[in-house]
Amino acid sequence: MRGGWWRRAASQVGRSVAVWGVSTVTMLVLAGILPDFQLQSADGDSATTIAVTAALGAGAFGLLSAVVWPLLVRLLLLVPALVLGLLVFFLNGSLLLLALRINPSGQPEAAPETAVIVAAVMSAVASATGAALAVRDDEAYRRRLHRLADRRRGRRPPCDSTPGTLVIQLDGVGHDVLCDAVDEQLMPTVARWLGAGPGQEPSHRLVPWRTDWSSQTGASQLGILHGTNHDVPAFRWYEKDTGEVMVCNRPTSAVELQRRAVARTRDGGLLTADGASRGNLFSGGAGELALVLSVSARRGPGNRSRAGYFAYFSDPANAVRTALSFVAEVGREIGQSLRARMRRQRPRVSRGGLYPLVRAFATVVERDVVVAAVVGDLLAGRTAVYADLVAYDEVAHHSGPRSRDAAKVLQRLDRSLALIEKVAEHAPRPYRIVVLSDHGQSPGETFRARYGLTLGDLVRAGCGLHVPRRAQGTRSGAEARAAVRAALRRPEGGEHHRPARHSEPIVLASGNLGLVSFPDVPHRMSREELDARHPGLLPTLANHPGIGFLLVRSEEHGGLVLGARGAQIPLDQLDADPGPLAAFGPGAADAVRRTHSFPHAPDIMVNSFHDPADGEVLAFEEQIGSHGGLGGAQTRPFLLSPLVCSPPVEEGGELVGAEQVHRVLRRWLSEAAGPQVPLAAEAEPEERAA
C-alpha cells in the first residue's frame, strides 16, 4: 500500500515537472515569435538567463492559475455564464502579466493584448500535455476527471454495486432525425448502441413517443421529471386569475410550475434519491444542481444554480478551451448566416443581433459545463442523473431541423455521448445510459413570411382593431377586414368598428401554436361570448389558409373544434368525425381534449396549418424549425434505452405523453436501485391528486 502511494506521488510529480517543462518551452517559442513579448532586458541576456526567466514565468503562471483563478471565478459567480465566458481571456492575460511582474529573473515584458494570446496558448498546451500524460494512467485519468467536475461536492460514502441511471436529453432531436443521422453515419456512438454497423450487436433499443399538444421543453420536461404537466397549455400563456404571462424558460415561472407539479403529485420528483439535475428547466427533486432554471431565481446561500459552471471554469484550461470554442462558434454562425443569405435560401429568418452569442452559449458553454458536471456525477457514483443538451434545438430553430448546420451539431453531440460513455467505464458503479428527446422540430416558413402579417395582426384585424400599415395592405388583412364588415353588416367604406379599448386581446405564440386571451373577462370566454363581442374574429381565424383549427369553449357543446368552411366538431365527436384534425394524425383528438380541461386554457387556441405530405407547419414565431403545437415531426421524439431495461411499452403499444415517460423512467430506476426509489410515484398523477 505504502509503495503504491509513493509510486502515485512520484508519478504526479513527474507529470507536473513535464507540464512545467513544456510550458517553459512554449513561453520561449512565443517570445521568439511575438514582437511585443520579451523575456530579456534591453541590454540583452545570456541564453541561460532567458531560459531561467521563462521557467520562473511559466512556474509562476501555473501556480497563479491553480490558486488565484478559482478564487476569481468564485467572486464572479453573480456574473451570468455568458459574460463569464467572455471575461476568460482578460482574466487569463491578467494572470500572465502578474506572473511576469513578480518574476525575480530578468525583465520580462508583454503588451496587454499579447499577454492574452500568450496566456491562452500556454493554458491550452499545459492542459493538452497534462491530459496526454494522465490518460496513460487510469487512476490519474480518473482523478483528473474528478477535478474537472463538481469541486463543491463533499466526501460521499462508498456507493453500492447496483447500477446507476444516467438520462441525457438531446433537446429537440426528433425520432426520424436521429434515425437519419445514424443512417448517414453522423452519430457513430448511437449507431454502435443500435448495432447499426456490420457485425455489431445492439445494446440499446429505440422507440418513438408522442408528446402532448404542447410539444415543447417546458411541458415535456416537467412531465418527465415531476410526473405531471397538467395545466401547461403552451410555452407561454396568460393566466387571468393572476394577470401574469407564464413563460416556461422564465425563472419565476419555472419555480411556480415546479411548485404546482410537486403539490399535485405529492412527490419531489424523479431525482429525489441521490439525484443530480444538470442544465434543465426543473430540478426533478435533485440535491445536486447546475444550470437549473427553477432555482436560478433564488437568492442567498441556497442558490447553487451556478455551481456547475463555477466548477468547470475554475480550471483555467477549461475556461480557455471553451472561450476559444465560443469565439469559433460565433464566427461559424456569422459565416453560415452570410452563406445562407448569399445563396438566398428559403425559408430563412434573421440571425443577427445577439443570436450568434446565444447560439455559441447553447452549443459550447452549456454543453461543456453540463458534460463536465455529468462526468463528476458518474465518478461520484450518483444514483440518478438527468442532463439536458440544448445545442441542436437552438441551431435547428434558425437553420432548419435538417440543415447542414444542425447536422454538424448532431456530430458534436455524439462525441459528447462517446466521452460520457468512456467516463462511465471509470465510475465506481455500473451505469445504464438512457438518451431521449423532449420533442422534435417541424420545418416550414413562418406565418409572417408567407402572409405578410403576424397572428397578432390577424387577431386584431378580426376584432376590428387597428393593425400596422404593413399588415393592412396584405391579402389576409383585407380579408379579415371584409369578414368584420360582413359580420357587422357594414358596407364597404362604412364607419370602422372600434371596440372598447379594454377588449384588446393578448396574443401569444409558442411555435405553431397561438393563444388568444381577453384579459378584461375574468373567465374563459365561450364561443357564444366571442361571437357577441367580435362577430368576425372566429370566422376570420378559422377560414384563414394558414390556420389548421381552433379550440374554443362552447356553452352548448363544451369544447368545440372549428375549421374552415364552417366546420365545427364537438370534442366528444372528434373520434367519429375528426374534421379539421384529420391532417394531424392519431392522438390529436386526445391531446386537444386534454388541453381543453386545463384551468388556464386560453379563450382561443390556434394551431397552424400542417401539410402531411412534407411535414411542414407555419410558425407564429420567427423560426423555420419550430415546435409547440401539433403537426409533423415536432410531436415525435425518441427514447433510446439499454436492452437490460424492461421494454418501455408492451409490443405493439405506444408511448404517449411525457407523464408516461416519467412512469417508465421510474420503473427503470426501481429495477436498478430497488427500494431507494419511492414506488408511490408509479401511480397516475390524477390518482395522487385525488
DSSP string across 278-314: ES-SS-TT-SEEES-HHHHT--STT--TTHHHHHHHT
Cell of 386: 438527468
Are 467 and 453 in contact by the 8 Å Cβ rule? The answer is yes
Which pLDDT band, with edges at 50, 70 and 90, does 661 fall under?
very high
Q: How many CA atoms lie within 13 A of 573 on its CB side?
A: 13
The 8-class DSSP code of residue 446 comes to B
Mean pLDDT computed over 596-600: 97
Supply the pLDDT for residue 291.
86
Residue 336 has pLDDT above 90, yes or no: no
Average pLDDT, the chain: 80
Choice among 137-151, 225-239, 665-679 with the minimum mean pLDDT = 137-151
Nearest to 85, CA basis, from 75, 69, 98, 73: 73
HEC sequence for 496-532: CCCCCHHHCCEEEEECCEEEEECCCCCCCCEHHHHHH
Cell of 84: 463569464
CA 387/CA 374 separation, integer angstroms: 7
* In contact, 654 and 199? CB cutoff 8 Å: no
Q: What is the mean pLDDT of residues 574-586?
A: 89
**What are the residues facing 655 on neighbouring strands?**
209
Q: How far apart are CA 536 and CA 261, in angstroms?
A: 38
Render pLDDT for 474-504 as a digit per residue (tens, 0 to 9): 555 555 555 555 544 444 444 444 444 546 8
- Distance between CA atoms of 257 and 269, rounded to whole angstroms? 13
pLDDT band at 92, cuts 50/70/90?
low
Range with the poorest average pLDDT among 147-151, 223-227, 316-320: 147-151
Report pTM: 0.79
Residue 225 — very low, low, confident or very high, per pLDDT cuts 50/70/90? very high
Q: Would you place residue 161 in the very low, low, confident or very high pLDDT band (cuts 50, 70, 90)?
A: confident
Query: H helices within 266-354, ranges in order?
Result: 293-296, 307-313, 316-342
* Radius of gyration of the chain measured on its C-alpha atoms: 29
Q: Residue 173 corresponds to which amino acid?
A: V
Q: What is the pLDDT of residue 499?
A: 42
Q: Which residues pair with 245 in a beta bridge?
A: 238
Q: How confident is the model at residue 344 (pLDDT cuts 50, 70, 90)?
A: confident
Q: Which residue has the higher pLDDT, 341 or 574?
A: 574
Task: Read off the C-alpha cell for 293.
Answer: 432554471
Using pLDDT thresholds of 50, 70 and 90, give the confidence band for residue 688. Answer: very low
Instruction: Give φ, ψ of 2 to 5 degrees.
Output: -65, -40
Per-residue pLDDT reduced to its tens digit, 244-280: 999 999 999 999 999 999 999 999 999 998 999 999 9
Q: Look at the alpha carbons of 498, 503, 504, 508 in this order and tell me if their dihedral is positive or negative.
A: negative
pLDDT in tens, 38-85: 665 555 556 666 666 666 666 666 665 665 555 555 555 544 544 555
Quote the cell numbers at residue 455.
397572428
Q: Is the pLDDT of residue 440 over 50?
A: yes
Class of residue 299 by CB neighbours under 10 A (exposed 0-12, middle 13-18, buried 19+) = exposed
Helix, strand, coil shares, percent, the chain, to 5: 50, 15, 35
Confidence of residue 403 (pLDDT cuts 50, 70, 90): very high
Residue 170: count other Cβ atoms within 10 Å of its Cβ.
Answer: 29
| Residues 247, 237: Cα–Cα separation, whole Å | 7
CB distance 284 to 270 below 8 Å? yes
With contact defined as beta carbons under 8 Å apart, do 407 and 392 qualify? no
Residue 303: is its pLDDT beyond 50?
no
pLDDT at 32: 63
pLDDT at residue 8 above 90? no
| pLDDT digit string, tens, across residues 119-147 | 555 555 555 555 444 444 444 444 555 55
Residue 638's pLDDT is 98
pLDDT top residue among 400 and 115 = 400
* Separation of alpha carbons 562 and 557, rounded Å: 12
Task: Judge whether residue 170 has pLDDT over 70.
Answer: yes
Residue 116 has pLDDT above 60, yes or no: no
pLDDT at 408: 95
pLDDT of 282 above 60? yes
| Residue 36 pLDDT grade (very low, low, confident, very high; cuts 50, 70, 90) | low
* Residue among 96, 157, 177 nearest 411 (CA): 177
CA 440 to CA 181: how far, in whole Å?
14
Q: 166-227+306-444+633-689 in CATH: which number?
A: 3.40.720
Could you tell me the three cell numbers for 630?
Answer: 401539433
The number of beta carbons lying within 10 Å of the beta carbon of residue 565 is 7
Domain ranges of the chain: 2-136, 166-227+306-444+633-689, 451-623
